[in-house]
Amino acid sequence: MTLALEVKNVIKSFQSDSGEIRAVDDVSFAVEAGEFVALVGPSGSGKTTMLSILAALLSPTSGQILIDGVDLANMSEAERVALRREKIGFTFQSNNLIPYLTALENVQLMLRLNQRFDRAGAVRSAELLSRLGLGERLNNLPAQMSGGQQQRVAIARALIHNPTVVLADEPTASLDTERAFQVVQTFAALIHENNRAGIMVTHDLRMCQYVDRVLQMRDGKLVKIFTSREEILQLAKGE
């Protein structure tokens, strides 16, 4: 297996009136290509800050984040923008899609951003959306789709350009239970199938049944890593 992402001793601290706050405190882990990992923890545990750092949206105070062996901690802003475009796929909690682009155009946008949009890319985008059950919705605008359908379009957009790492921030937050399971299951399948490294931040432990590993954070620290299937299923069942 190839290491897609390596996080080494990452610290992110903020200054507040009461002094320094460590939102991420000396966190280290690695994710291999084809591995789907959940980052869980209570509110304020630092998981969203960790995700922002992995997405090159936030610089760590110290430590290293290597994507395909390249450290993004020392990159310029322009390099980070290029990295987000080329190496990272991203889905958010909500407001995921560009409202004036159709489902197909939203997916193709990643190819256009990467100057890789051509006839083959257009076909591939449509196929991926069809694979996600949206074959009839290709020309629908986001407002004409349900929350689950929008999340699936966002997943397609996050994968279409073959990024090294796919990040998902609470992808099921605005979905009902049935839709949430469907979305995460599809997401996991595509991560494995396309051999990408996937990291999902979630507070809904039930979703962990579809991941290969669970990283649990508390107070900015990585406190536990669940690797065995039994442990993960127990966690998902809330036992």
Contact (CB, 8 A) for 142 and 99:
yes
Min CB(60)–other proteins separation in Å = 14
151 binds other proteins (CB under 8 A): no
Among 28, 100, 118, 233, binds other proteins (CB under 8 A): 100
Among 35, 72, 96, 156, binds other proteins (CB under 8 A): 96
Based on CB atoms, which residue is closest to other proteins, 204 or 212? 204
Among 4, 5, 51, 190, binds other proteins (CB under 8 A): 51
Residue ranges in 55-117 assigned as alpha helix (H): 77-87, 103-113
Q: How many other C-beta atoms can be found within 10 angstroms of the C-beta atom of residue 68?
A: 16
The Cα 228–Cα 41 span in angstroms is: 18
Q: How many residues does the chain have?
A: 239
Amino acid at 53: I
149 binds other proteins (CB under 8 A): no
DSSP state letter for 153: H
Among 54, 55, 153, 168, binds other proteins (CB under 8 A): 55
Residue whose C-alpha is closest to residue 64's, from 140, 8, 12: 8
95 binds other proteins (CB under 8 A): yes
The span of 94-102, 180-188, 204-212, 229-237 binding other proteins (CB under 8 A) equals: 94-102
Give just the sign of the alpha carbon dihedral 78, 80, 86, 91. Answer: negative
- Name the site residues for other proteins (rule: CB under 8 A): 48, 51-52, 55, 57-58, 78, 81-82, 84-86, 88, 90, 92, 95-101, 105, 109-110, 112-115, 141, 157, 169
